[in-house]
Amino acid sequence: MSALDSALHQLAEAVKQLGLDDGLHDMLATPRRSMQVAVPLRRDDGTLQVLAGYRVQHNLSRGPAKGGVRFHPDTDLDEVRALAMWMTWKCALIGIPYGGAKGGVAVDPRLLSRNELERVTRRYASEIMPIIGPEKDIPAPDVGTDEQTMAWMMDTYSAHKGYTVTGVVTGKPVSVGGSEGRGGATSKGVMFSTFFALREAGVDHRGATVAVQGFGKVGGLAAQYLHDAGCTVVAVSDVKGGVYNPKGLNPAALLKHLRSGAESVVGYPGTDTITNEQLLELDVDVLVPAALEGVIHEENADRVLAKFIIEGANGPTTPDADAILEQRKAVVVPDILANSGGVAVSYFEWVQDLQAYFWSEDEVNDRLRALMESAYDGVSALSAERGVSLRTAAQMIGVGRVADAHRTRGLYP
Ligand code: NAD
């Protein structure tokens, strides 16, 4: 099942639970704007390569569109559409005044030099410029992009405008209008979601065993924060494979290892090598999928033994797998809740940029925790009240709020 199939399936379930009519369902399933652009890149060796770039604004009924930019070789329009739709429900669920968007370029950033990456980023930013802006659509980092990518996008947009516009993207370095606490925000949110889910089940998080798939921006710091909070992180992985130590890994040391030039976590001293598939099937308390979508599916779901699955990634569990996990009574904290810390602090960053007044890291973290706790409590209460999964409850709240905005605004003309 593709990411778009999963997203549409989840939407249909929420629409059914909410009793929305077919017209509104159609409206919510259809992106408002899909833009495909050519991104010509002059390689360092002088040759020219034309890459495909995308920006999809799924919904604009509650405010400007918001969502990350992905640089990955498999990115295509359908994937971006799915990711944009999830952003719409996520922003509505946590109550921030945005619609959902997503963008991407079909490219493997690991195969580009820094100069090539900068050229791809600047050309992509200028191609999508007609539809982005602080009051229109605000990109952020996602897979394969980072705060440097955002600094180049902000600079390109500002150069075209003729003045500095910090609020056009979020996830920027603090030195150019970024927010304190944005770097680790998604991971902090994953940690809070883990705490809330375990607390609700009466399980102490201290000593809980954790496996994290995808040791990138989200998974790397989620592993570190959970370890620092007393969990035992027994396995982590990246695109090349995973490492396992039943006594526990030291994520901070692993992150340092990567920062000092190692290409993968695989081969780290004192660990056994495992595959990404084996990592998903470890008998741990908590599994954090934090890489790509569709990794827990019909074929492997019955071998996923974790009691709590905290979705750092967007769309890691297909609807077929959800049904299998539900039967097994595994608790799945869904992506639009579990990884919403990133967009929450992106919202804080945008607010700070618009006001040109910046907050302390403690203030950011306190507001993040409060926002996520209130979203989690709302989802958990609705799940209990209606006897539906946390995912369906989260989707119902998100989709319901967007549907309300459509009804209240009415249809033009
Ligand atoms: P990233 O590029 O920083 O890290 C991705 C990690 O996944 C890397 O370790 C990479 O090696 C690994 N990976 C890639 N392909 C893989 C594969 N096929 N199997 C196993 N591992 C693989 O990206 P990120 O920003 O950490 O994003 C990870 C996930 O979290 C994505 O689903 C993204 O949409 C989601 N997300 C990110 C943010 C954010 O703020 N960055 C916010 C919300 C959700």
Structural domain spans, the chain: 31-174, 185-338
Q: For 273-293, what is the mean pLDDT?
A: 98
For ligand 1, mutation pick of 96, 142, 240, 310 (most atoms within 8 Å of CB): 142
Q: For 219-226, what is the mean pLDDT?
A: 98
For the segment(s) 31-174, the CATH number from 3.40.50.1700, 3.40.50.300, 3.40.50.150, 3.40.50.10860 is 3.40.50.10860
Res 166: pLDDT: 98
- The CATH H-level (homologous superfamily) assignment of domain 185-338 is NAD(P)-binding Rossmann-like Domain (3.40.50.720)
Distance 140 CA to ligand 1 centre (A): 14
Which residue CA neighbors atom 2 of ligand 1 most closely? 143
Res 220: pLDDT: 98
What is the tens place of the pLDDT at every residue in 328-361? 999 999 999 999 999 999 999 999 999 999 999 9
Res 330: pLDDT: 98
State the Cα–Cα distance between residues 191 and 226, nearest whole angstrom. Answer: 6
Query: Which residues line the pocket of ligand 1, CB cutoff 6 A?
Result: 141-144, 186, 213-219, 237-239, 276, 290-292, 312-314, 339, 342
What is the tens place of the pLDDT at every residue in 108-153? 999 999 999 999 999 999 999 999 999 999 999 999 999 999 999 9
What is the tens place of the pLDDT at every residue in 143-160? 999 999 999 999 999 999
Distance 341 CA to ligand 1 centre (A): 15
Q: Is 16 a catalytic residue?
A: no
Token couple for 344: 């929450």
Res 388: pLDDT: 98
- Vertex 105: Cα angle to 72 and 2 (nearest 5): 60
Three-class HEC string of 110-139? HHCCHHHHHHHHHHHHHHHHHHCECCCEEE
Res 244: pLDDT: 98
Which residue CA neighbors atom 22 of ligand 1 most closely? 239
Report which residue type is found at 274: I
Q: For 95-108, what is the mean pLDDT?
A: 98
Q: For 27-38, what is the mean pLDDT?
A: 98
Catalytic residue among 66, 90, 102, 217: 102
Distance 312 CA to ligand 1 centre (A): 8
pTM of the model: 0.98
Q: Cβ(361)–Cβ(180) under 8 Å?
A: yes
The secondary structure of residue 71, as a DSSP letter, is E
State the Cα–Cα distance between residues 370 and 203, nearest whole angstrom. Answer: 21
- Side by side, the strands of the sheet bearing 286-289 are 272-274, 241-244, 232-238, 209-213, 286-289, 308-310, 331-333
31-174 and 185-338: same fold? yes
